[in-house]
Chain A
Amino acid sequence: MDGPVVRLRHVAKTYHAGSIDVAAIKDVSLEIAPNRFTMVVGPSGSGKTTLLNLIGCIDAPTSGQVEIGGADTGTLSDNALSDFRARNIGFIFQSFNLVPVLSAFENVEYPLLMVGMAAAERRKRTLALLEAVGLATQARQRPNELSGGQKQRVAIARALVKGPQIVLADEPTANLDTETGAAIIDLMRSIQMESRTSFIFSTHDPQLMSHSDETFTIRDGGLVGHEIRSRA
């Protein structure tokens, strides 16, 4: 892809809390190039998660335009938006958010069921991703039988299995110890390099921030900084 994978034009998001309007995002315009490790940083309550939600198409802007891979997501119906997310956007959550009644294999396979992929192809891709995150032998285990690091590996495999354009990760290392967090960051980095998928993080973790290709700093809902770092 030549153009930006994410483009925000004058995006604003205001929440209504009773009679009070709270502006979570104020007139943000930005572009994120493909195949990058992009960080959205800022203090708590600055609007990082809201910005990720808007990019992930799970929240709608009050005004402005959100384009993912060149598609204006504001024109899509709820079902079309669901289908769009199913094909183009992967999510990694701070608390892993695995489906507890599904095994590691089934959790990774789940997004492929949503896009109607044939069983044989589903199985092949799921096993390949579990292999890539080092959990091939834990495929049959349920989330409650896995450690925190293993759960996040499953979540990474789940986010990547459908080959999305972007993967959004909200504080992916916040619930992991330093050593496991470092291992997860290395894993995501290597997969990103291999799959050429764009990763967009919201984080406070300096360890993770040190891997950034591009950083957007946000404060009080406004974009206050943008830094591009050349890869070593």
Chain B
Amino acid sequence: MSSLLKIAFRNILRNRRRSGMTGSAVAAGALAMLLFGGFAGAIFTQIETANVERIGHLTVFRAGYFLFGAGNPAGYGIDHYRDVMALIGNDPVLGPMINVITPTQSLVGIAGNFSGTNDAAKTFLGTGLVPSDRDRMREWNEYGTAAPYTPDHRLADNDETRGLVGGGLARILGLCAELKLTDCPAPPASTDEAEGPVSAEIADLAAREKGDTTQADGMPEIDLLAATAQGAPNIVRLSVSGAEPQGVKELDDNYVAMHLALAQQLVYGRGEHKVTGIVLQLHRSEDLRAARARLEGLIAAKKLPLEVRDFGEINPFYGQVVRLFGAIFLFIALVMGVIVLFAVVNTMTMNVMERTNEIGTIRALGLRRGVIRRQFVAEGLILGALGATVGIVLALAAAILINHAGLTWVPPGNANSVPLRVALWGRPVLILGTWFVLVLVATLAALFPANRAARLPVVDALRHV
């Protein structure tokens, strides 16, 4: 075996330029696959981090909420949610896995700005949350891909009236100037003196509920109207402490984040305050499956009318991005594989043609067909292995350069730019998988010319000039 590899290696060096070109094709294949694979891997972790920061790994809903509750969040509140949270948090298996467990209240309604200078109203999708829990969740950075998080003082546990709106909603409600938002134009002056029926109704309700719409602490105020669990209209006033742009326009035009207590007041009024979700953020994503299984087991054991969804189900965009980039990676791998295949087949075919007389000689000396076949296959394997190894080294060097170049970009679904990264270190499956696939392709590619060499009649091969 060692003499076979030794001879194969020397044969590769025999025509250095040709072997170099073929090895370069393999190296280029490895480079392309690894850089894109590393880039895609970084995107996955960045999007996963963005999701986990916002909606955690798992959310417990009342059964049926996930499919039907968006139209009537108040009807799908979790009863005695504090007891449920205690049950989950105190579980000896789940407890150590959990980083944050926090209640949330989703709601829909109409947001209106009737400050007098710019009357506007817009439907909204609201989330009630615990501000300190939100801060803790946003510190999650298991993969080290997120920028360091600075606590957001625009929301505070001790101030239930504060909230944030999406950049688009701020624009629609005419809050850009007051919130000092850039890239947020003021609406054109209205020529219509008459107020719409919805605006008038909200303004009237707001005036009756709160008395006036003057601003407190310099923050603009908006009115939020929603139906309570009992079906009665309810209204609260929200001091908008800032805008939080969302990556998707539809969400950006509708987003409102507020203190949980305010959301509960709006949805449940004087009735029992419930929540629509209990969010669990784990320390490590790899615990997701085990945590979910345990959680579902707990719910089943207690016969609670609850269901569990992970962030991939709640935000299908994550799965779509993973599948999209996975498909692109496969496509690139396929193209590179075909290039490597043809490069090696071409090189090995030329080698066989040039060495036909030599093949006849060593066959005459007594070498079996199988050894001839193995000889050429070994040459393809060595070419592939050398090329793929060089490609890996180049890819690692390129990844270091890219990661330290300070480049940024806005991933799909993100509102803010993030560092452009190629995640290769610590990804042995990607690196070894790429190496193995390319070496396999090169080896299989050598098999065709190797078979041809092995089948050459000795006499014909010896006559070849």
Contact = CB atoms under 8 A, between A and B. Distances in A.
A35 to B, nearest CB: 22
Contacts of B364: 56, 58, 85, 91
B14 A82 contact: no
A32 to B, nearest CB: 19
B7 interface: yes
Contacts of B360: 58
A82 B367 contact: yes
B459 A110 contact: no
A182 interface: no
A96 to B, nearest CB: 9
Nearest to A54: B459
A100 B360 CA distance: 14
B427 interface: no
A194 interface: no
B368 interface: yes
A79 B459 CA distance: 16
A87 interface: yes
A145 interface: no
Q: Which of A82, A86, A100, A115 has the most CB of B within 10 A?
A: A82
Interface of B: 3, 7, 10-11, 13-14, 357-358, 360-370, 457-459, 462
A79 B369 contact: yes
Nearest to A159: B365
A162 to B, nearest CB: 8
A49 to B, nearest CB: 9
Contact of A97 (B10, B361, B457): B361
| Interface SS majority for chain B | helix
Contacts of A89: 366
A59 B361 contact: no
Contacts of B367: 82, 86, 114
Interface of A: 53, 56, 58-59, 78-79, 82-87, 89, 91, 93, 97, 99-102, 110-111, 113-115, 158
A58 B462 contact: yes
B358 A99 contact: yes
B459 A58 contact: yes
22 contacts: A56-B364, A58-B360, A58-B363, A58-B364, A58-B462, A59-B457, A59-B458, A59-B459, A78-B369, A79-B368, A82-B367, A91-B364, A93-B361, A97-B358, A97-B361, A97-B462, A101-B10, A101-B11, A113-B3, A114-B366, A114-B367, A115-B366
B131 to A, nearest CB: 74
A83 B358 contact: no
Nearest to A58: B458
